[in-house]
Structure 1
């Protein structure tokens, strides 16, 4: 299966449809709310989760204490890449600043 990023999720070329990716916080909140007794369909509607059946999977991981399974590896990779770019830019700025100080 080949996935590529889109604005609000991933496009699944094998199934020819967009797959919405939810944040760790959304998954955790949904699992906690259902665990605390809220109706699954109401939680899904409130959090704008298109397929309420996913919440059962998140709830299963939550109840087993497998919170790391709620994290999306693709999203973590994108976050790490963004952080690396941010640090590289910061390094360039600091190098230029240091260069200017050495000239004076």
Structure 2
């Protein structure tokens, strides 16, 4: 009984990691990773876009939903880029011995 719950969670975790990797945010850590995981797993944009498009079927709604998903993806790109900038700045700070 417990093995099936654990396997199900492992599959969900693997799917989440795959999605994060495809969006370029798979290497995030700490609080940033938790936020992105939450958005991708339970996020308003993702789940509402799926639900609304299934319920409405309208072209206008489908376009709006698509734009919301694109907005989320754009934000994830910005998160990834900011994370890379922070890492580079930390490397510079470490190399300079903390004296900038």
Instruction: State the TM-score, normalizing by the size of structure 2.
Output: 0.38
Higher relative contact order, chain-length normalized (CA < 8 Å, sep 6+)? 2
- Of Structure 1 and Structure 2, the greater strand share is in 1
Which is greater in Rg? 1
Instruction: State the TM-score, normalizing by the size of structure 1.
Output: 0.36
